[in-house]
Structure formats: structure tokens, C-alpha cells
Amino acid sequence: MTVKKALIPAAGLGTRFLPATKSMPKEMLPIIDTPVIQYVVEEAIASGIEDIIIITGRGKRAIEDYFDDSPELEMHLAKKHNTELLKLVRDVSSLVDIHYIRQKEPNGLGDAVLRAENHIGNEPFAVLLGDDIIVNDKPCTAQLIDNFQKYGRSTLAVEEVPYEKLSSYGIIKGKPLNDSLYVLEDIVEKPSPENAPSNIGAIGRYVFTPEIFDCIKEAGTGVGDEIQLTDGIRLLNNTQTIYACRFEGKRFDTGDRLGYVKSIIDFALKNESLREDVLEYLRDILVTVDDPSDK
């Protein structure tokens, strides 16, 4: 059985990006000219996903509008014969069929996943967090789906996490099978660094068997008074083997301010029409920053 459905939770409050997120979803923050969530949707499509559900909430209308047709804008661009921009705008709305489900309150990632239970049904599915971008020729989600196809079991994407950031992640204890794969032994949500079972954390990509839904329900409320996906994973691990995969690729946590800045610099340096000018600017600015007479 393969994975055809994906869930993109995008209903969080994005408090690390206040005040911007008072009136705009953090998933719509642009990496130069493209909102973060477009990269996430493109990764899902490139991984063979055919049905995407975005979990939204209050103040997230901009996401639905973004992936919809924009008749007035298209008419304006057509009148001006701006065929290049017209194509760009139309391409976004014809990417894939997207369904939207609202999470009434941001009660945690586990709760966001639960909202899609009826739509997903009794099938395996992928979860891609709406604020993580992962760049790699073979998409991270496709790597997880490969592992699911091999073992028929849920698979989490993991990577090494710096010590001071351990308390922001679900941290795993795993038995290594090879260089890139662990069998999950335990996972702890947001441990204090001294109590963390390792320095390997789950990032924003997962493939789940549908049994995860009952496990999330059974787990109930956890850390921060939220329904935590990690607690559901823990329970699922009691009855089914779960794998943790050290994916190939570079991840940008755009929900974090420094991660967001890094993503813009990286994408600018990869963009042919920007690269040289940005490099020149960075060189100039670095000289000034390093010059003590400037302080």
C-alpha cells in the first residue's frame, strides 16, 4: 500500500512571529517571493501525494486564497500581456486538489492531526508541518514513504538537534538499524536537555499508519496543556514498530526567526538573478560589522 494523502497542519498561532502573525499566517511568510507553505505543498506533490488537506484556523484565510484562482489579478496581468507572471499565478492554483479543515482552537499538533481523521480514513498518510522547508533532490517525504513501503510501518524524519534546542523538540531514543535508520524505542516531548534520551529530534515530516488517530485520542492532553502528537506516537509504539529516519536534505525551520533568516539567505544565494548582488552585499556588510571603528 502506498501513501497518497498528506496533511499539512497550519493552524498554530505563530507567536514567535508576532506582531506579523496577528493578521497573517506564519506559513505565508515569503522566502523572497514564495510563501513557505508552497514549498511544503510542492514537496508533497513531488513525493507522489495526490490529496492534500491543510488544517487551518482563525486568521488563516490567506492560505486558502493563495491556492485559489485569482480572477481579477489574472485579468489584469492578461490585459498587460504579462504572460510570465500570469503563468506563475495560474500555476499556483493548479498545483493539486487541496481540502481545508478548521481546527477551532490551536490545541496542539496532535489535535490538528485528529481533525483530519474522517478525511484520511483507514489509510496511511503523510504529515508535513507547514513551517518546515526541506531541500533535497529526493524529497524528505518521499524518503519516508520509501521506508513505509519497505516495512509497512510509521516513520518519522529525525535529525541532530543542538543541546540548547533539545527542549523544543520531540527527542527520540532509538536502536540503530543502519547509518540512517533507527527503530524507535521512546520519544519524549520537549525534554530538559539534561533529561533528553539523545540529541536526535523529530522534525516536521512523518508517515503514519491510521492507528495513530486512536493513539492520539487515548493519550489525551500532555505538555503545555496541548494534545501532543508525540504522546500519540509513544502509544502507537507500544503496539507497532515505528522507524526514525535520518533524512537526506537541508532543513529550514522557518517558524523560528533565525531559521527564517537563514532560509532567505540560502534561497537568495541559490537564485541566479540574485546571487551575485546578494554576495556583494554580504561581503560589504561583513566588513562593516567586523570593523571596530563602526561601533
Under the rule (CB under 6 A), what is the footprint of ligand UTP? 9-16, 27, 55, 103, 106-109, 111-112, 129-131, 255
Q: How far is the CB of 181 from ligand UTP (least distance, A)?
A: 24
* Closer of 63 and 181 to ligand UTP (Cβ): 63
What is the per-residue burial (b if ≥16 Cβ within 10 Å, else e) of 126-156? bbbbbbbbbbeeebbbbbbbebbeeeebbbb
Give the cell for residue 251. 532543513
Q: How far is the CB of 27 from ligand UTP (least distance, A)?
A: 6
Closest CA to 232 of 204, 210, 247: 210
- Residue number of the CB closest to ligand UTP reads 12
**DSSP assignments along 152-181, one per residue:** -S-EEEEEE--GGGGGGSEEEEEEEEETTE
At how many degrees (to 10) do helices 272-290 and 257-270 cross?
130
Q: How far is the CB of 108 from ligand UTP (least distance, A)?
A: 5
Q: How far is the CB of 271 from ligand UTP (least distance, A)?
A: 25
CA dihedral 166, 167, 170, 174 (to 10 degrees): 40
Contact of 112 with 60, CB cutoff 8 Å: no
Q: What are the phi and psi torsion angles at 293 (to 5°)? A: -65, -15
Cα gap 228→232, rounded to integer Å: 7
- Residue 227 DSSP class: B
* Closer of 8 and 181 to ligand UTP (Cβ): 8
Contact of 155 with 242, CB cutoff 8 Å: yes
* Closer of 41 and 77 to ligand UTP (Cβ): 41
* Closer of 83 and 168 to ligand UTP (Cβ): 168
Query: Does residue 193 have a cis bond before it (omega within 30 degrees)?
Result: no
* Closer of 129 and 236 to ligand UTP (Cβ): 129
* Closer of 181 and 229 to ligand UTP (Cβ): 229
* Closer of 91 and 225 to ligand UTP (Cβ): 225
Q: How far is the CB of 90 from ligand UTP (least distance, A)?
A: 26
Q: How far is the CB of 280 from ligand UTP (least distance, A)?
A: 33
Q: How far is the CB of 56 from ligand UTP (least distance, A)?
A: 8
